[in-house]
Amino acid sequence: MRTEGLSINLATVREQFTLREAVETCARLGITAIDPWRDQVQKQGLEESAKIVTAHGMRVTGLCRGGFFPAPDAAGRATAIDDNKRALDEAAAIGAECLVLVVGGLPAGSRDIAGARTMVSEGIDACRAHAKAVGVPLAIEPLHPMYAADRACVNTLGQALDMCNQLGPDVGVAIDVYHLWWDPDFEAQIARAGREKRILAHHICDWLVPTKDMLLDRGMMGDGVIDLKRIRRAIEAAGYDGPQEVEILSSHWWSQPGEQVIRTCIERYNTVC
């Protein structure tokens, strides 16, 4: 089956494989693009991870994740900025095409979501020069509103694009269908993202009915209600022809053999994406 244009976010098999094992399995099955998470890279070792990626000719469509900028005090915000700069260095070392930002929610004890969004914007701005220096753009990933308090206070593509425009160059968006499919303005904002040349990544999975866990019950493509083909057509019409990156955080799929999961990703990519 066709694997061109398919990337595997390694969170999809994080419980089954080390980074090396995941890359080797992807390569054996004909997949040539991945997106690892920082903890996977750190566990394997940064230098060794870079060697593994290079040895297997892998395109690295992103590194997950930076972000989590809001904090109750200036020291906490400075720590977050320093960590994001390290994440940019890691992304550059493995040849990642962007650093995906899960921007963070409300600081502990706060009810000020507008203030949290200001902290996010200021935090990203403080990282922009470093991102430019290492050649890794920053990709804001808006998350579903159910995560607004604890994971991401940027919740629509429109919000993310507004923030990009406030910040200027070197900042774009990661469009994850799981988080954005429900938005009635989604397709219009995809077109806007194309006009503004902000699309850096396209993540896919599915929304199950019912969803049994807010974090760990994402669906395999085709098992839920997201119109994946329609969204992809809109993204391509907006001028983005990069890979579709499968990112499935799922207790169910983590309980299955890793190679079977990746083979299923390939099959569904060919049939429903």
> For the residues 232-247, what does the mean pLDDT come to?
98
CATH of domain 6-272: 3.20.20.150
User: Is 0.95 surpassed by the pTM of this model?
Assistant: yes
Tell me, letter by letter, the H, E, C secondary structure of 57-118. CCEECCEEEEECCCCCCHHHHHHHHHHHHHHHHHHHHCCECCEEEECECCCCCCCCHHHHHH
Residue 204: per-residue pLDDT: 99
Residue 239: per-residue pLDDT: 98
Residue 35: per-residue pLDDT: 99
Residue pair 189/157 in contact by the 8 Å Cβ criterion: yes
Residue 47: per-residue pLDDT: 98
Residue 251: per-residue pLDDT: 98
85-141 residue pLDDT tens: 999 999 999 999 999 999 999 999 999 999 999 999 999 999 999 999 999 999 999
The chain-wide mean pLDDT, for the chain, equals 98
